[in-house]
Chains A and B, each alone.
Chain A
Amino acid sequence: MSRKALASLTRPVSRRAFLKTAGAGAAFAALSACAAPVAAPAEGTGGEETMAEPQELNIVYWADSNDFFQGVIDQYQEETGNTVNYEVAPAVYIEWQQMMTTRLASGDTGTDAFHSDDFQAAIYGAAGWLSPLEPVVDLYDIDLDDWPQTLIYDVSSWDGALYRIPWGNDTEIFFYRTDYFEEAGVSPPTDWNDLVEIGTALTDEDAGIYGIALSATIGGQLGNEIQHWTNQGGGAINNLDNDGAREALAFYKALYAEHNIAPDSAPQEDYSSVFQGWLSNKYAMWWCWDGFFGAMRTNEEFWADQVSAFLPPMGPDNAETITGCWGWSVVASSPNQELANEWIGFTARADVMKQQIYRGRVPARVSLWADPEVQDLAPSSPFLLDLAEAGGLVKARPVTPSIQEIYDAAEQNVHAYLTDQVSLDEAVTAAMDKINPILERDLGS
C-alpha cells in the first residue's frame, strides 16, 4: 500500500456526526420503546420451539444494567418468553479470570453463556469447557462468511472446533489530534522514520505535550505492543530472536528513551492513565483499540472535531495491525444447552449485534460496517472497512492455549529491558528460553 493511500484513509470526524452521537442516547431510548413489538424476524427457524415453556437463561456480560444491553435482553425476553438472569462480569481482569476459571473447572451448572475474549476462547475451549458451536451455526443458519475470517478461524476456534461467535470487533489503529497536527503542519506518518519525525515535531516537553502515547505496562497491554511492533519488523511475540524483532523492540524503547516523543513513564502507563492523559491534552497520537473512539465520542466536552484516526504506518516488514474480538460462548457443563444456543443464535443476528453501536463499539459482522448508522455511532467502522478492503492489513494475535504463558514470558523480559534492567540481547534470550519449550510442547501434543 502506498503512502498516499495510507494518508487518504484518515478521516476527520465532523461536528455534525458528533452532534448525532450526542442525540444517540435519546434516539436509543425512543428506539427501544417502539422496537420491541416489531422485533426483526429471526434468521433461522430454530427459535420457535422453545416458545412453549418459559425458561431461565444465565449469562455473564460486561456492562451495567442501564446500558444498551438491557435493551438486548428485553428484546430477547419479548421474543422468546424466556427470562434472562444477567450477571455483571467483574471489571478487573484478574477477578473475572478467577471467577470464570473456577466455575468452568468445577463443572458449573449455573452459567449458560458468557462473553469471552480471545485468550479465554482458546484456553477454555481447549480444556473442553466450552460447547462447540457448529450445530448452532447450522441451526440458526448463521452466515460465518459475514465475519472477518481471522476472527472466526484464528481466535475463536481451536483444534477445528468453533467455541465462540464474535460479537464486537476490536482492531488497533492510530488515533491523533487533528488540531495538533494542523498546528505543527504535519500529516499522519506513513513509516517508522516518519513517525519519529512527526512525533518530534509534535512534542513540546515544556508544555507537557508528547507526540505519542505508549501504554507499556505488564498485564497484556505491553504484550500487545510487543506483538504489534515486532510483527511489523518481521517477528512476533513468540518469535523474538531475530533481527526484525530486535530492531522493533529497540525502536519502541527509543521512542521515549532516545527521541523523547513519549514520556519516560511509558513502562508504567496503562489504558486508564493514558486515557486521562489524552483528556488532559498530553498526547498527539495513540495506537490502541478502536473502542477508544467509542469512549471518545460519548465524552460530551470532548473534541469530536479534534480526534481522527489513521492506519498504522509501514514497518520494516509490513503495515499490519492487531485485530481481535469479544464474543459469546456456551458453557459445556450448563444443563441448558439448547437455551444457550438460542441466545447465541439471537445475538449473532445482525439487528441484535448492531445495538453495540450504542456504546460506540463496532459489531463483528462486516456487512454492518457500511451501515450509515453504524458509521455514525461507531466512528471507527469506516477505518475498519478500509482495512478490510485493502486486505491483509489486520492480523490476529498468535492465540493458542499457551498464549498466556507466552505473553507473560515476553512481557516480563521486555519490560526489564524497557526499564533498563537488562540489555536487549539478555531480554530476548531470557524470553525465548521460556517461550521455546512452550512452543515445543505445543507442537508435541
Chain B
Amino acid sequence: MNTQLDFKRGIRTTLFILVVILFLTVVLLPIYYIFLTAFAPSGKLFTVPLTYVPRSLAVERFQDIFGALPIARYMLNSTMLATLSTVLALTVSLLAAYAIARLDFPGANLVMVGLLASSMLPGTATVIPLFQMYQSLNLMDTLLGLLILYGSALLPITTWVLVSFLRQVPVEIEDAAKVDGASFFPLLWRIVLPVIRPGIATMFLINFIIGWNEFFTPLIFARGAGVKVITMALSEAQVIGARSEFDVSWGNMSAVAILTTIPVFIITLIFQRQIVEGITSGVFK
C-alpha cells in the first residue's frame, strides 16, 4: 500500500518537474534567441542552421549603444515615471474601487463601465486633440505631463482588478473593526490592505511593468533626452551605425531589449515575495 503510494507520488513529482521544465523552455527559448542576436556579429546575425551557443561574447555592441545614447538617463526617467505613475494609479484606484465595491452608490455601474470605456478607443483616435491640449498647457516634453498620461492609462484596469479583490474580502472583517470604532483610513490601512496585499503587490508589479514598457506615449509626448525613456532607446539604437534601411540593426535592438529587461526581472523577483502565499497553498497537494 505504502510503496504503491510512494510510486504514485514519484510519478506525480516526475510529471510535475517535466511540466515545469517544458514551461520554462517554452518561455525562455525565444528570449534566448533574442539574447543570441544581441551578441551576434553586427553584419551576419544568423547562421543556418542556428548556432545555439553565443558566437561571441563581445560587448562592442553594448559599448556603441552606451556611447551613442544616454542610457542611464533614460533608465532613470523610466524608473521615475513607472514608480510614480504606479503609486498614483494605485492610490486613486484603491479609493475608487473601495467606493464601488462597498458603497453601492447610484451610478456605480456606470462608473465601472465608464472606466472601461476610457480604454476603449484606440490611442490613435484621440492623440491629436490630446497633443494640442498638451501644447497649450505647456505639458509637452515634461515629466509631469507624461506622469498624468501614464497614470490615467493605468487607472481602469487597476480599479477593476481591485474591485474584484475587494469583493473577495468578507465584509464581516470590516464590520468588526467598525464596531471597534475604527475610522475610514485606519480601517483601510490596517484591515483591508493586509487582506488584499497579494492583489496590491500584483497590481504594483503589473503597473510598474506597463509603465516601464510604455512606448506610444513617450514617442509622441517626449522629445528631449531629459524626458525620454528607455523604450525610446529600442528605436534609437536600431539606427546606430546603420547605413541604410537594409541594415537597421535588429542586433542593437535585441541588446537594448536585454538591457531593459534586466531591471524588470530583478523587480519581479523582489516582488514575488510580496505576492505572498495567502490563506491557501494550492489544491493539488
Contact = CB atoms under 8 A, between A and B. Distances in A.
Is this pair of chains taken from one and the same complex? yes
Interface in B19-54: 43-48
B219 A99 contact: yes
A280 interface: yes
B44 A105 contact: no
Contact of B235 (A95, A272, A301): A95
Contact of A109 (B45, B135, B219, B243): B135
B256 to A, nearest CB: 12
Contacts of A272: 246-248, 250
A280 B44 contact: yes
A360 B244 CA distance: 8
Contacts of A103: 131, 220
A442 to B, nearest CB: 24
A289 interface: yes
27 contacts: A62-B239, A63-B239, A63-B242, A64-B241, A67-B241, A89-B239, A90-B219, A91-B235, A91-B248, A92-B238, A98-B127, A102-B131, A103-B220, A105-B128, A105-B131, A107-B132, A110-B223, A271-B246, A276-B45, A276-B46, A280-B47, A288-B246, A291-B244, A292-B244, A294-B243, A295-B244, A361-B244
Interface string B232-268: 0001101111111111101000000000000000000
A7 to B, nearest CB: 26
B106 interface: no
Contacts of A276: 44-46
Contact of B243 (A92, A110, A288, A360): A360
Interface string A292-309: 101100110110000000
Given A279-B43, A291-B244, A64 B219 contact: no
Contacts of B238: 91-92
A88 B239 contact: yes
B124 interface: yes
Interface in A242-294: 271-272, 275-276, 279-280, 288-289, 291-292, 294
Contacts of B135: 106-109
A65 interface: yes
Interface string B213-237: 0001001100110000000000110
B282 interface: no
Nearest to B42: A299
Contacts, number: 110
A91 B67 CA distance: 18
B68 interface: yes
A208 interface: yes
B132 A106 contact: yes
Nearest to B250: A272
A361 to B, nearest CB: 7
A105 B127 CA distance: 10
B235 A295 contact: no
Contacts of B140: 110
Contacts of A302: 43
A295 B250 CA distance: 15
Given A105-B128, A276-B45, A292 B220 contact: no
A83 to B, nearest CB: 13
Contact of A301 (B43, B132, B244): B43
A272 B245 CA distance: 8
Interface of A: 62-67, 85, 87-92, 95, 98-99, 102-103, 105-110, 208, 271-272, 275-276, 279-280, 288-289, 291-292, 294-295, 298-299, 301-302, 359-361
B240 A110 contact: no
A279 B69 CA distance: 28
Contact of B246 (A66, A102, A275, A301): A275
Contacts of A95: 219, 235
B131 to A, nearest CB: 4
A18 B51 CA distance: 30
Contact of A292 (B67, B219, B246): B246
Contacts of B250: 272
Contacts of B48: 208, 280
Tell me which of A64, A102, A110, A288 has the highest count of chain B C-beta atoms within 10 A of its own C-beta. A64
Tell me which of B45, B64, B141, B246 has the highest count of chain A C-beta atoms within 10 A of its own C-beta. B246
B235 A92 contact: yes
Tell me which of B44, B127, B224 has the highest count of chain A C-beta atoms within 10 A of its own C-beta. B44
Given A106-B128, A289-B244, A299-B247, 20 more contacts: A65-B69, A66-B64, A66-B68, A87-B223, A88-B235, A89-B239, A95-B219, A95-B235, A99-B219, A102-B127, A107-B135, A110-B141, A280-B44, A292-B246, A294-B243, A295-B247, A301-B43, A302-B43, A359-B244, A361-B244
A63 B236 CA distance: 8
Given A102-B128, A109-B135, A291-B243, A66 B44 contact: no
Given A64-B239, A289-B245, A106 B43 contact: no
Nearest to B233: A88
Nearest to A271: B246
Contacts of A85: 224
B244 A66 contact: no
A102 B223 CA distance: 13
Nearest to A87: B223
A98 B216 contact: yes
Given A95-B219, A98-B219, A64 B43 contact: no
A359 B246 CA distance: 13
A66 B43 contact: no
Question: Nearest 4 CB-CB pairs, A to B?
Answer: A291-B244, A91-B238, A106-B131, A64-B240
Contacts of A92: 235, 238
A87 B236 CA distance: 10
Contacts of A109: 135
A102 B239 contact: no
A109 B140 CA distance: 11
Contacts of A298: 243
A92 B127 CA distance: 19
A271 B245 contact: yes
Contacts of A275: 246-247
Contacts of B244: 289, 291-292, 294-295, 359-361
Nearest to B123: A98
A278 to B, nearest CB: 9
Nearest to B129: A106
B249 to A, nearest CB: 8
A67 B68 CA distance: 9
